Amino acid sequence: MGANYVFSLQPTFTQGLILGQLSILALLVFVLKYLFMDSTKYPFETTTYQPRMNNDSIMRSQKVYQVSNEGGSNKVDESAEWLNMLLHQIAGTYRSKLRNDLSGAEGDEVARKRVEDYANRIRPASFLDPIVVHSVDFGSSAPHLSNGRRVLRAQSSDEPPEIEFDVNYVDSLSVSLSTSYLFNYPMPLFARLPVALTISLSLFKSSITITPPLHNSPAPTLTFSISPTFTLDLTTMSLMGSRAKLANVPKLHDLIQHQVHRVLAAKGVWKVVLPGLATVDEVKNEMTDAVS
């Protein structure tokens, strides 16, 4: 009779096999839960790791893209310089406004808090703990335009001309943050996997179509349309785990770059409010009136 049961007082091969598999599974769960994951609500308060910006990796030399002076190409480059100056001024104004026109540590904190609030508004709360943004860098440069050419297409007389440029953007744009990925199996909040990231821009390269505002527009904006085949290179530094840490996981970098690329491609068209000529609310109202 005893041989008909899986477990009996007499050890059998089947019992040993089952116990061996259960012990391996238990050991695997123990390693994942207590070595790489964290069951506490605030894992970065109980670990020695503190995310830190790597200035050598993030700060990059500002590349200047020039067009060859042969065959009149220099004239094209010179014709774009006024627009490059305008873009630099617009970028500087936006950076200042994101800091509430404050300088130093006070302005840094305002910018950090704004990015953190936005990140937590869009995060999937069922999969991620609240996101803590440790620092942000909005850069100091602006996209550099070159090789301007007029877009030839049927347009009405009251529509502004469209100009296409090649754009290259290299800057110290970066964000450093930490959060935890939530594991809800086999039970809700079974464990947390702490993740710390520093994401910085290496290169954005694309062709871009710029449409100037209508001469009678009450809220002038520049409209930028990027090519769907743009190039985006990000640098990602990451740490995953609580006590034992996995550094710079390639799959995580690929996932982040893919998601950022997808968001930019889906957006496609960007309207930039010209500082001093219009406000964001005025532009929103004009767009609502145009749709209705």
Across the chain, mean pLDDT equals 75
- Dihedral sign of CA atoms 145, 147, 153, 156 in order: positive
H-run or E-run covering 78: helix 73-98
Query: Within 10 Å of residue 176's Cβ, how many Cβ atoms?
Result: 22
- The pair of structure tokens assigned to 72 is 């009149």
Taking residues 256-269, report their average pLDDT. Answer: 88
- Per-residue pLDDT band at 45 (split at 50, 70, 90): very low
Phi, psi of 152 (to 5 degrees): -95, 105
Render pLDDT for 177-223 as a digit per residue (tens, 0 to 9).
999 988 877 777 777 889 999 999 999 999 999 888 777 777 778 78
% of the chain beyond a pLDDT of 90: 30
Rounded CA-CA distance 107/135 in Å is 12
- Per-residue pLDDT band at 153 (split at 50, 70, 90): low
**pLDDT at residue 162 greater than cutoff 90:** no
* Per-residue pLDDT, 117: 95
Asked whether 168 and 153 are in contact (CB, 8 A), the reply is: no
Asked whether 228 and 216 are in contact (CB, 8 A), the reply is: no
Query: Within 10 Å of residue 224's Cβ, how many Cβ atoms?
Result: 19
Q: Please report how many Cα atoms fall inside a 13 Å half-sphere around the Cα of residue 73, on the Cβ side.
A: 9
**pLDDT at residue 290 greater than cutoff 60:** no
Asked whether 256 and 197 are in contact (CB, 8 A), the reply is: yes
Residues 6+ apart with CB under 8 A from 193: 36, 37, 38, 180, 181, 183, 240, 241, 242
pTM of the model: 0.67
Using alpha carbons only, give the angle 258, 260, 263 rounded to the nearest 5 degrees: 105
Radius of gyration of the chain (CA): 27
Render pLDDT for 116-150 as a digit per residue (tens, 0 to 9).
999 999 898 888 899 999 999 999 999 999 988 88
**pLDDT at residue 87 greater than cutoff 90:** no
* Per-residue pLDDT, 47: 41
Rounded CA-CA distance 72/56 in Å is 39
H-run or E-run covering 265: helix 250-267
Render pLDDT for 14-25 as a digit per residue (tens, 0 to 9).
666 666 666 666
Residues 6+ apart with CB under 8 A from 26: none
**pLDDT at residue 107 greater than cutoff 90:** yes
Residues 6+ apart with CB under 8 A from 63: 168, 170
Taking residues 283-287, report their average pLDDT. Answer: 55
